[in-house]
Structure 1
Amino acid sequence: MPAAALKPKPLPTQSTAKHPVPLETPCAPVEKRPLPPGRPRDWYVTHNRRLKAMRLAIALLDSGVHLPGQARNEKIRSTASLIGVHPPSDTTCHMVRAFMRYNR
């Protein structure tokens, strides 16, 4: 028997299936762990700002805002209120657009 016959057939993807394949549902959030102690305060501020900017960028992408030019400060702040995050500063809004630009 040829070796190719022994390999299991891969599961179809969305682009190759004859019928729609259900997409994976979102996972449960990861359990939060405390941040490492002993770092300078600026490190914690920057770390939390990056996390917030990532959450906002993901929410904007999910809502259909795909270009950084479409993500004005007002749009980012309204999205923040929708997902239950404190209104971001101008610096965080800039970081959200940078994440969106980087991922293109």
Structure 2
Amino acid sequence: MPAAALKPKPLPTQSTAKRPVPLDLPCAPVEKRPLPPGRPREWYVTHNRRLKAMRLAIALLDSGVYLPRQARDETIRSTAALIGVHPPSDTTCHMVRAFMRYSR
């Protein structure tokens, strides 16, 4: 029997289903773990900046901002206020746009 016949057929996604597929609501956040000790301070700063940029990118995508050119600094900062994080720096705003660019 071919290996392809053993694989279960994947469930339809929103884009391929004949009718809308009910999507799960956001689940509870994952339990936080402490960051590994002994790294240089710059590593922690960069790590936290990436996490913040990813949260902002997800919030922007959820709000209908799909293209990096739509995500101006003002839009990103207003989204940050909306989701309850400190206003991002110019570097973090640039990183948000980069995440949106490379998610395609």
TM-score, structure 2 normalization: 0.84
Alpha-carbon displacement from aligned partner over 1:73-93 (angstroms, at most 9, x marks no partner): 000000000000000000000
Extract unaligned runs of 5+ from structure 2: none
Extract unaligned runs of 5+ from structure 1: none
Q: How much has 1:14 moved relative to structure 2?
A: 3.9
Distance 1:16 1:59, change over 3 A: closer
Q: How much has 1:25 moved relative to structure 2?
A: 1.5
Which segment drifts farther, 66-75 or 21-30? 21-30
Distance 1:74 1:22, change over 3 A: same
TM-score, structure 1 normalization: 0.84
Alpha-carbon displacement from aligned partner over 1:50-90 (angstroms, at most 9, x marks no partner): 00000000000000000000000000000000000000000
Q: What is the percent sequence identity of the aligned residues?
A: 90
Q: Secondary structure at the match of 2:94?
A: helix
What's the Cα RMSD here?
2.8
State the number of aligned residues: 104
Say which one has the larger Rg.
1
